[in-house]
Amino acid sequence: MLKFADLTLDTGSRQASRAYSSGSIDCQGIRTARALPATPKQVLTREVIFDRVWGYDFGGESNVLEVYIRYLRQKLEESGEARLIHTVRGVGYVMRENP
């Protein structure tokens, strides 16, 4: 179980729940989400996330990380919950409660 703010991720069952909703997340989505709450409020570069999730450097041309971040945001915000995954332009992503 991973927790951040009102988000709970059950990595075993691949379930995510927030204050007012819950749902399943695919395996790669869970791996992406796990990379972020491991260091909440710390900005993680794209390279660090690639290494933690896929185990190697995909290089600068791939948009697979953006696809999974968008997927996670849709899943985690589907009932109007506040955004927890924030983009730090030109650097990477961070988990925080306020922008």
The CATH number for 62's domain is 1.10.10.10
Of 71 and 11, which is predicted with more confidence? Answer: 71
Say how far apart CA 36 and CA 52 lie, in whole Å: 10
E-strand spans in 30-78?
Answer: 44-45
- pLDDT, one tens digit per residue, over 36-75 is 877 778 899 988 888 888 786 665 567 888 998 999 899 8
Say how many domains are in the chain: 1
Q: Measure CA 65 to chain center.
A: 10
| Domain carrying residue 56 | 2-95
3 CB neighbour count, 10 Å cutoff: 10
- pLDDT, one tens digit per residue, over 30-44 is 888 888 877 778 899
For Cα atoms 29, 24, 54, give the angle at the middle one, nearest 5 degrees.
15
